[in-house]
Chain A
Amino acid sequence: MLVTGGAGTGKTTVALWAARTELERSHNASSRALFLTFSRTAVDQIITRSRSIVAPVEERIEVSTFHSFAYRLVRRFGHLAGLTDRNPEVQSASQLKLLGKAPDRLVYDDLAPLARRVLDNPQVAELLEQRWCMVICDEFQDTGDSQWELLERLGEHARLLLLGDEHQLIYGFLAKSGVTPQRMHDTRAWVDRAVELEPASHRDPSGAIPALATAVRQRRFSDPAVRDAIELDRFFVRSGVRDDSAVSAIGSALDAAWTRGCRTFGVFAHTNQSVAELSSRLAEAGIENYLVGLPDAEADALAAMLALTQYAYGEVDWPIVSVAFGTYLTACSRGAAPALARSLAAGTALPTVLQGRVDDLRAAVADAAASSLSDVADVAATAWVSLGINDSDAPWQRAAPAFQSLARQSARMPVGQTSTLSTAVSQLRLGAMFESRRRRLPAVQVMNLHQTKGREADAVVILCDDDDFHGREAEPFIEGSRLLYVTLTRARREVTVILGDDPHPLVAPLAALG
């Protein structure tokens, strides 16, 4: 079944009801419902809020991202199906971007096709075909070919429930992998039933924000819906905000939203690099926040800290460490690997100041190695800050305590301290890459625009930088406008857009409203 509907029309809630009904109807007490999504945290939040719906069957609903679902199957069954080694290693997206594909490692894109092939093994298939009586795919409009093939295979033995909204197709840059409007079109003909939900929004029952978002998507900036949203205190535009006062502008928007009764907040910016910076700057300003979805960067930070430690003990040469730094820098950036990352990876000349800091760092870890593994870990934990390459040290800082703790444990081993540490770090890295850790999250979540899908917050603040890159699109900005639609509709109560002096043409028409 295909269920379509605009943002906030309750697709997830419908799916949870359907899962509960299916599970209660199933004669097989051990069958489960699988909820595949692009952001596990987002769905976890919705499940928490929908506890009354799912409570009777909660333990039988599995929520997973496509990547981690596929990895789960590949890791457990890949070697039995003769497809992989035991415990195959996965290359992070930034390693791939910077270095190209390593022959002996998997990359994210390998996972869904491999998972599909795991199901060709009859014994594994027999086991897995019994497991799910219903498979739900969230954000179906964004599924690529390999994900679709996996879904189709799962659908042979389970009811498929596909949730989608063509207006939220924002991964157009993945068209090569099959992420195109054609998916929804073809599927509508393929499914047994297609249901379109009423346009009314459950996220904002007043309808003001959905109407605003629709008008913006259609680039009708003078539409009455836009004016209404402003008058109803649902939509705020702050223009002419310089970069150095962005944090205080966000702070006052959050404060104001709080006084209007908002309790959960989303702060969205365009690139990974800018959200990472933003997250640390907000934290410095005393706004506790959670940086969503830089797991790759965390994983790469861990790898870099490990490489630095191994260098300190003479187990690897400096170029390995340099590549690891380049990979981390790539993970914190959007688009292609930055020039500096490529220099680090290739070992070509660095700016003089940076080269000086690199030399200092090499000396510092060598010194620390003379005393203890814990001391080396402490140097590694602050290594990125000490290089001063950029401000994106949030993922590094998030990974550092875990690394230091593993190093202290490994330091207790009488022999093989670094290999012990290496094994422990690789396990932790997998955890970071597949978003498997659950944490209690602060009320303020910071993320990039492409990660906002499926999430929601009482108040949303969107920070648009003057030099944000929105591809080669020009008016009517079809893809960019969908992105704006998605981000605006994340808000339950209000949304604030913060613009600079010279906004990108995509958002420039909003400046006039401020």
Chain B
Amino acid sequence: MRVIEVSLRRFRGFEDLTFQPAGHVALLGEPRAGRSDLIEGLRRALTSDGVRYTTPSELDFWMLDTDRRAEVEVVVGDLGAELEQDFLDHLEAWDIDRASLAGSRRPTDAGTDETAWVVRLCYRIEWDADQEQAVHWVDFPDESDPASGTYARVSRRLLDLLPVVVVGGRRRPLRLGPRSDFRRILDGVDGGSLAGAFDDLVDSVAEAGEALAKTTDIKTSVSKVLEPVEGPLGIDAADDTLVQFAPEGGSLSDVLRTLHPAIDLGPPGHLPLARHGATASALVQAGEAIAALHSTGVVVIVDDFGEDLDSISARHLAAVFRQDAEQSWISTRRSAAIEAFSPDEVLRLHFRDDSRQIAQLEPLTTKADRVAARHLSLQLLPAASAAVVVIVEGPHDRAALDALAVRRLRRSKKALPAAYGIVVIDAGVADGSGGASAVARLASLARRLGFHTIALIDGDKGVDGKTALAAAEAAADRVVRLPDGFAIERALVDGVADDVVISTVRVVCETFDVAVPPNLDTLTGKDLLKTVVAVLKKNGGLHAQFVDLLPPKNVPPMLRRTLEAIVDSGANRLTGVLQL
């Protein structure tokens, strides 16, 4: 089974949003842009627990507007023969080419192989003004009529047939209680030993309770308690069979619920799972979910994946989910987890004009496109939850800007760009070339993923410079261009007194084992700049070190202007070209 379309209407922070995932889904996004709400919407629409064990409230309505229904509508396809038969009376035809419901077709169209059977489910919440509470349910929208308040509700039996595994939230692994994920795995194994073992368990607990009641000290104490009230109770306090000890509730499920897993992960031996720390618990939980994937066609839904995992485990487990589930929905802040997914599987939630949006890449069809997108998107991963990315030509640009930002934070308490949701990414890594064309490529991808994208380009002159500017302008929301003839190194020295530059370069050379250029003290103008460029590019780049070693009150003015322009463009979501 696969979810092929999701519509969120007035559900929590979503006013009206429809999207169609391309296979698996890695769900990223800015904080508060709705990752958890989307996952919660899916959980409520696709599982019977979603309605049964959830209390809806005003907070589930968009803008707390309880006058209108909140809805999460989901189209599921690739049902497989069994589910198609189970949902026979609710199937609708999906036009594969148009990627929408087929609606009515003319007889001449019948029989062409362009439609697939799908089922549409709609989770709805309505405010009951009389009871002052929200009511919710899942129905088949095709057979329901909201205008007259008639809804064809989906029975719990049918919902439970959907192979959906939800991971996370308050779920705990290895629980024996009824309806737990572990019980589903147990039921799937069904080697025949379970029922007998459960019966034995209940019997032994009952026997142990009885034995306890028969010990002399207990008997004596019980009769002491009962003696004063034996008249009113109409009992004989000396009767030692009067009291027995049974577990609370006493039924099998009550007994099973009281049992918690204890696990031996080394000294001091068996401890309750929770006592081993969040990571161990999260790992076992993930293991349980993966075990549940062994039936075919499962949709796995994970919120906040990897919060409690180290990045290696997160990366591994995400890859397993993606491999074993027919469709995995993994919401995460961890870039390591996303590496398992192909770029067109990434859905990025973000804000545009204060409303929640979703961004996704169009399906990538050729291998070349996939490889290119993959390498480009790997660079964007660290920015997954940022709102703004600044794309610079190479590692030196980024190093210099970062160093200045940290220096300003330390010296004058100016907030880092990160405080505005701004992350600086270097385009050079993807193909090693860097340069303006790489900036445009990466900017274009970033923009398609819904980032507010700022391209920072050098002030190259001539035809190449013009071409680079045009490409950046086409790709990014905002272009910040250094003055004509400027690259980052010139921005580091421009406007700084020559003697300050010379003394700082000397310290850099001495500190990082670089030979001090001959005649350093005598250089000026272009010659000095040329020498500085040569030194800064040594040892894989000494730009940040140069910025750090500049004496107080000698911040390079062009570098500062550049940084301020970036922060201003990002924080205020400015567009167009800014020529410094």
Contact = CB atoms under 8 A, between A and B. Distances in A.
Interface of A: 28-32, 72, 76, 79-83, 85-86, 120-123, 127, 130-131, 409-410, 413, 416, 419-424, 427
Contacts of A419: 147-148
Interface in B483-514: none
B97 interface: no
22 contacts: A72-B89, A79-B104, A80-B105, A82-B108, A82-B109, A86-B103, A123-B110, A123-B113, A123-B117, A127-B88, A127-B91, A127-B117, A131-B85, A131-B88, A409-B149, A419-B147, A421-B148, A422-B148, A423-B145, A424-B145, A424-B148, A424-B150
Contacts of B88: 76, 127, 131
Contacts of B105: 79-82
B81 A130 contact: yes
B148 A76 contact: no
Given A123-B111, A127-B117, 9 more contacts: A80-B104, A80-B105, A81-B105, A82-B105, A82-B107, A85-B104, A123-B113, A419-B148, A427-B145
B367 interface: no
Contacts of B115: 80, 123
Nearest to A32: B85
A65 to B, nearest CB: 15
A76 B150 contact: no
Contacts of A79: 103-105
B339 interface: no
B279 to A, nearest CB: 40
Contacts of B110: 80-82, 120-123
Interface residues of B, number: 27
A30 B82 contact: yes
Contacts of A82: 104-110
B113 to A, nearest CB: 8
Given A80-B105, A81-B107, A424 B86 contact: no
Contact of B91 (A76, A122, A409, A416): A76
A416 to B, nearest CB: 7
B102 interface: yes
A120 B108 CA distance: 12
B430 interface: no
A86 B111 contact: no
Contact of B85 (A121, A130, A416, A423): A130
B107 A80 contact: no
A113 B36 CA distance: 50
Contacts of B111: 121-123
B147 A423 contact: yes
A413 B126 CA distance: 14
B150 A80 contact: no
B78 interface: no
Given A30-B81, A127-B91, A416 B86 contact: no
Nearest to B107: A82
B145 A76 contact: no
B159 interface: no
Contacts of A409: 149
B197 to A, nearest CB: 24
B106 to A, nearest CB: 5
Interface in B211-256: none
A421 B105 CA distance: 30
B82 A29 contact: yes
A122 B107 CA distance: 12
B117 A420 contact: no
B488 to A, nearest CB: 62
A62 B148 CA distance: 30
Given A32-B85, A130-B85, A131-B88, A86 B148 contact: no
A72 B91 CA distance: 12
B84 interface: yes
B93 interface: yes
A419 B150 CA distance: 13
B104 A420 contact: no
Nearest to B86: A30
Nearest to B108: A82
Contacts of A32: 85
A38 B242 CA distance: 60
Contacts of B93: 80, 123
Contacts of B86: 30
A429 to B, nearest CB: 12
A419 B148 CA distance: 8
Interface in B106-147: 106-111, 113, 115, 117, 145, 147
Given A76-B91, A79-B104, A82-B105, A127 B148 contact: no
B155 to A, nearest CB: 12
Contacts of B102: 80
Nearest to A124: B110
B368 to A, nearest CB: 36
A420 B89 contact: no
Q: Which 9 A-B pairs have the closest CB atoms?
A: A82-B107, A423-B148, A30-B82, A420-B148, A30-B85, A424-B148, A79-B104, A122-B111, A121-B110
A131 B106 CA distance: 25
B75 to A, nearest CB: 16
Nearest to A86: B104
A420 B149 contact: yes
B574 to A, nearest CB: 45
Contacts of A410: 148-149
Nearest to B115: A123
Contacts of B109: 82
